[in-house]
């Protein structure tokens, strides 16, 4: 019996190692990343406004005015959604510093990845900085957008997509409806149902329903939806009690918000993955694809990093 258990454990270990790949020995971990497979690492969180503001700061300092202007997000993405001052100033509004950056084009995201690699390389020329991050001098980091396959691998958390299409064994929790029913009624703009009927359905669902813990559109039924209706912080409530995202949980690879919050660009232009605050759950599975032609308020990104050993 013990021998059988040992064989099964060994088989599972080999299978998992084959599926996930084996981490190359002594590879340093890039800042803010977690290991994916081989020499690949991925951002734990979506690129946030504070990251983009840092990028703009150095462009303004070190590049041409035209280069800086071309890197500014498109704030018009909020015009048809929320035209309040704080949302039109989403990038710089203090409470949104840790929210995912949006209004970014595919080309802008690629440019950020290239700049990030150079910025990290320059930072690591400082010997003390390398020591603090425990990064040897013979390694470089190359950042880029993930391929659709790499993105799906990260989102799966090592689980079978055929069985766990969202990368978690259990995705449901009790409803976290923290607004009154009238707020949701007017937010979703459902003229096909009266306030009275919506209130009844809302209160019944709050008592007995269940919702996915992702920041996506929640469904009371096939017609009625509710949700945050905006991007939320890339920080959890535990990390940021005031503004943290209550739906943000890591998968088995320690990656956050692969599903919901904002959809994420891949290296294939026009193809995004993972759904967002503006998409229903059935649009947000790992294998699903979302299509875009221009910057939107529901589209962001994160980076893949290739760690490369510099040969003598």
- Residues forming a β-bridge with 42: 34, 304
pLDDT in tens, 192-250: 788 888 889 889 999 989 999 999 999 988 888 888 889 999 999 899 888 899 899 99
- How far apart are the C-alpha atoms of 118 and 138, rounded to whole Å? 15
Tokens 């096939």, residue?
A: 222
- Percent helix, strand, coil in the chain, to 5, is 35, 15, 50
Written as tens digits, the pLDDT of the chain (312 aa) is 434 333 333 333 333 343 455 666 578 999 899 999 999 999 999 999 999 999 999 999 988 899 999 999 999 999 877 667 778 899 999 999 999 999 999 999 999 999 999 999 888 888 787 778 778 778 889 999 999 999 999 999 999 999 999 999 999 999 987 777 778 777 766 667 888 888 898 899 999 899 999 999 999 888 888 888 899 999 998 998 888 998 999 999 999 999 999 999 999 999 999 999 999 999 999 999 999 999 999 999 999 999 998 876
Tokens 């790499």, residue?
A: 150
pTM of the model: 0.88
Closest CA to 232 of 312, 188, 163, 176: 176
According to the model, what pLDDT value does residue 25 have? 58
Q: How many residues does the chain have?
A: 312
According to the model, what pLDDT value does residue 6 have? 35
According to the model, what pLDDT value does residue 121 have? 87
- How far apart are the C-alpha atoms of 243 and 54, rounded to whole Å? 20
- How far apart are the C-alpha atoms of 124 and 25, rounded to whole Å? 21
103 φ, ψ to 5°?
75, 20
């Amino acid at each position: 019996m013990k021998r059988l258990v040992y064989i099964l454990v060994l088989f599972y270990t080999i299978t998992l190692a084959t599926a996930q790949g084996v981490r190359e020995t002594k590879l340093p971990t890039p800042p803010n990343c977690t290991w994916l497979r081989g020499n690949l690492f991925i951002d734990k969180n979506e690129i946030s406004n504070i990251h983009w503001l840092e990028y703009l700061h150095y462009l303004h300092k070190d590049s041409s005015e035209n280069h800086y202007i071309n890197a500014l997000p498109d704030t018009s993405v909020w015009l048809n959604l929320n035209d309040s001052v704080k949302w039109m100033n989403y990038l710089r509004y203090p409470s949104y510093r840790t929210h995912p950056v949006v209004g970014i084009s595919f080309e802008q995201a690629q440019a950020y990845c290239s700049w990030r690699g150079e910025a990290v390389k320059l930072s690591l020329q400082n010997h003390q900085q390398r020591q603090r991050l425990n990064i040897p001098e013979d390694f470089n980091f190359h950042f880029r957008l993930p391929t659709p396959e790499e993105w799906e691998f990260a989102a799966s958390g090592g689980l079978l997509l055929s069985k766990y299409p969202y990368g978690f064994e259990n995705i449901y929790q009790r409803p976290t409806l923290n607004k009154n029913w009238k707020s949701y009624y007017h937010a979703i703009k459902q003229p096909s149902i009266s306030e009275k009927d919506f209130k009844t359905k809302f209160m019944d669902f709050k008592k007995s329903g269940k919702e996915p813990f992702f920041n996506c559109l929640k469904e009371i039924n096939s017609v009625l939806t509710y949700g945050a209706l905006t991007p939320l912080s890339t920080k959890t409530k535990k990390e940021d009690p005031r503004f943290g995202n209550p739906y943000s949980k890591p998968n088995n690879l320690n990656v956050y918000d692969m599903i919901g919050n904002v959809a994420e660009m891949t290296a294939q232009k026009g193809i995004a993955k993972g759904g967002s605050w503006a998409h229903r759950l059935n649009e947000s599975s790992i294998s699903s694809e979302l299509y875009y032609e221009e910057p939107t308020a529901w589209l962001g990104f994160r980076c893949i990093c290739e760690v490369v050993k510099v040969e003598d």
